[in-house]
């Protein structure tokens, strides 16, 4: 069973330290109904829900963390499904925060799915769903968040309640942005849209500046060349660039647009 749940935590003095899913969750003061079959965990004191997300269930920035198809396993009701469904309800209805950690999928000798290893790194996500499954997406993902209970419902919806979200932020240098625009201009490098020409004085000088190497992928403080590392793009093209995983290059998006 150790190989089933093992994960490399980090390397110290050349020695690899392995951590099981249970050990990782217990470090986070999280628990579950049964460590043998649970894939979701809870820390009631901090109001946190943890889901392991298989790499094979992750695409285009979305992690499928629960599917209605998982309710049954080999003709019998899955032991972990009801617990995970309750954890989803806590996120949707009671404001619990969602955290995920990656899991690499493996196979047993008989071809059954197993956990090859986990990556003990937590990322805060937000929840969305369709009629068949629930997904974890990035907090800054601009795609509409839909909850299964909302689809086709005639109930009233209330918005405007305040809530607090804590995420990592990255410092951007306004002088680098200005230098980029001074060199490249304010026209989108993908679709050639010019806000000044379309909206007049209101849109004059408005444009997004895209980092060709995402700041979140860097190791921290680093030097950039505004002429070669930054590119002016309109908000629509900027969103499309980051919608893909990995992100699209400006040239690739230009080809898709054609």
- pLDDT tens digits, one per residue of 83-126: 999 999 999 999 999 999 998 888 777 777 778 888 899 999 99
- pLDDT of amino acid 227: 87
> What does the alpha-carbon distance between residue 47 and residue 40 come to, in Å, rounded to a whole number?
13
Phi/psi of residue 196, each to 5°? -65, -45
- pLDDT for 170-207, tens place per residue? 445 678 888 888 999 999 999 999 999 999 988 888 89
- Other CB atoms within a 10 A radius of the CB of residue 78 amount to 16
**What is the reported pTM?**
0.51
Give which of 66, 62, 68 is closest to 123, Cα–Cα.
Answer: 62
Instruction: Please name the residues in contact with 94: beta carbons below 8 A apart, sequence gap of 6 or more.
Output: 47
pLDDT per residue over 225-244, tens digit each? 888 888 999 999 998 988 87
* Residue from 181, 180, 183 nearest 195 by CA: 181
């Amino acid at each position: 069973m150790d190989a089933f749940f093992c994960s490399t935590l980090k390397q110290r003095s050349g020695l690899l330290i392995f951590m099981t899913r249970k050990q990782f969750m217990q470090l986070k003061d999280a628990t579950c109904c049964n460590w043998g079959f649970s894939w979701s965990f809870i820390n009631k004191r901090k109001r946190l829900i943890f889901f392991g997300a298989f790499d094979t269930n992750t695409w285009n920035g979305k992690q499928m963390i629960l599917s209605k198809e998982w309710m049954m396993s080999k003709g019998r009701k899955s032991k972990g499904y009801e617990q995970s469904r309750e954890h989803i309800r806590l996120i949707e209805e009671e404001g619990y925060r969602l955290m995920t950690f990656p899991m690499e999928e493996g196979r047993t000798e008989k071809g059954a799915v197993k956990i090859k290893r986990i990556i003990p790194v937590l990322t805060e996500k937000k929840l969305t769903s369709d009629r068949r499954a629930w997904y974890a997406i990035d907090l800054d993902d601009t795609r509409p968040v839909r909850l299964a209970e909302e689809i086709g419902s005639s109930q009233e919806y209330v918005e405007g309640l305040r809530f607090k979200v804590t995420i990592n932020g990255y410092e951007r240098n306004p002088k680098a942005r200005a230098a980029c625009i001074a060199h490249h201009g304010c026209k989108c490098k993908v679709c050639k849209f010019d806000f000044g020409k379309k909206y007049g004085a209101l849109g004059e000088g408005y444009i997004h500046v895209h980092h060709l190497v995402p700041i979140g992928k860097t190791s921290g403080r680093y030097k950039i060349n505004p002429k070669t590392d930054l590119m002016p793009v309109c908000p629509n093209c900027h969103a499309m660039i980051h919608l893909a995983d990995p992100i699209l290059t400006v040239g690739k998006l230009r080809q898709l647009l054609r």
